[in-house]
Amino acid sequence: MRRSARRAETLTGIALVLPALFWVGLLVAYPFGMAIYYSLSNTVISQGGSFVGFANFQALLGDGTFRQALQNSIVFTTVAVAVKTVLGVALALILYRRLRVKRLIRGLVLLPFVIPTALSTLGWLWMYDSLYSVITWTLNRVFLLPVGLGPIEVNWLGSPVLAMTAVIVVNIWRGLPFFAITVLAGLTAIPTEFYEAAEVDGAGRWGRFWHVTYPLLKPVLAVVILFSTIFTFADFNIVYVLTRGGPQEATHLFATLSHALAFESMQLGRGAAVSLFMFPVLVVVVALQLRYLHRDETRYA
């Protein structure tokens, strides 16, 4: 009787899991397997190709554009995630305070994350326009002309340094709500008794943050930084809409370079190889983050 019940329970569990496994295999495993297959071939769109082993990866290591994209991806991800971490915690602390229109403010904060990326980035493209930039207009009218300077014209997307700064700013603007809301959820889970005890012990605002808020937020921060690093490192829409990797390859990331090689140059094998270069880097980042998170959990257990 018990064996039949356990067998029925096992079969029911398998039946419930199979649809999820099917969709994961169809939407994740199959494309990943095809990417590996193409990366090991010299496939060209509409012409086919043959197996070449690791020749694509070896060629990429000697390609200056790929090395530039690797450097750009590291700079882009590091700066964007660092700024989002600082601003996200600060914004979460502000939203945690008692405000009259707290719900409205929280809703407005989520707008950059809710609006479709391509649509919001088109708005930023207009703001960065070399002739009709609202940023340049504001800079001239508010800051420079009143003191007798300017007017100046800034080609925000025409200079390598300014273009990289521009795409980082847009990525921060879009990813900040994810940080703030997630950290805010972690703040609401901290018992108020801890703050009261710290205040009784004479801890000020900074002392309460450093000795109460930060230690209890570290697991939340580790998870949100992990996800933000993955999303930022694999970003495509923002850079593609704003610069398409230019000027002078200064903003090419792995995703945009892979797209350019695979669908603009028709080198599907080379483009797949670029996209797979992201995988080991992300594996290392995830492993380090999870190790840090596990060590932190064992310390406070």
Q: Is residue 234 assigned to a domain? A: yes
Report the alpha-carbon distance of residue 221 to residue 218 in Å, rounded.
Answer: 5
| Model confidence at 291: pLDDT above 90 | no
- One domain, residues 25 and 141: no
| pTM as predicted | 0.87
Average confidence (pLDDT) over 110-128 = 90
State percent of the chain over pLDDT 70: 96
Report the alpha-carbon distance of residue 93 to residue 6 in Å, rounded.
Answer: 50
204-254 pLDDT tens trace: 888 888 888 888 888 888 889 888 988 898 899 999 999 999 888 899 999
- One domain, residues 185 and 295: yes
- One domain, residues 26 and 123: no
- One domain, residues 5 and 126: no
- One domain, residues 121 and 250: yes
| Model confidence at 300: pLDDT above 60 | no
Q: Is residue 50 assigned to a domain? A: no
What pLDDT is attached to residue 297?
A: 60
- One domain, residues 110 and 3: no
Q: Is residue 255 assigned to a domain? A: yes
Average confidence (pLDDT) over 123-139 = 88
Mean pLDDT of the chain: 86
Report the alpha-carbon distance of residue 120 to residue 270 in Å, rounded.
Answer: 31
Report the alpha-carbon distance of residue 209 to residue 93 in Å, rounded.
Answer: 10
CA quadruple 226, 229, 234, 239: dihedral sign:
positive
Q: Is residue 49 assigned to a domain? A: no
Q: Place 89 in a pLDDT band, splitting at 50, 70 and 90.
A: very high
Report the alpha-carbon distance of residue 208 to residue 96 in Å, rounded.
Answer: 14
Query: What is the span of the domain harbouring residue 16?
Result: 1-39
244-262 pLDDT tens trace: 998 888 999 999 999 999 9
Q: Is residue 48 assigned to a domain? A: no
- One domain, residues 196 and 290: yes
Q: What is the CATH number of the domain that holds 156?
A: 1.10.3720.10
Select from 101, 106, 284 the least CA-distant residue to 183: 106
| Model confidence at 11: pLDDT above 80 | yes
Report the alpha-carbon distance of residue 89 to residue 222 in Å, rounded.
Answer: 12
Q: Is residue 128 assigned to a domain? A: yes
What pLDDT is attached to residue 296?
A: 63
- One domain, residues 146 and 273: yes
Q: Is residue 124 assigned to a domain? A: yes
The number of folded domains in the chain is 2
Average confidence (pLDDT) over 136-164 = 86
Q: Place 48 in a pLDDT band, splitting at 50, 70 and 90.
A: confident
What pLDDT is attached to residue 298?
A: 60
Q: Is residue 51 assigned to a domain? A: no
- One domain, residues 29 and 132: no
Residues written for the chain:
301
| Model confidence at 290: pLDDT above 80 | no
- One domain, residues 164 and 129: yes
Report the alpha-carbon distance of residue 258 to residue 296 in Å, rounded.
Answer: 37
* Pair 240, 256: CB distance under 8 Å: yes
Residues with Cβ within 8 Å of 128's Cβ and at least 6 positions away in sequence, in order, are 135, 156, 157, 166, 242
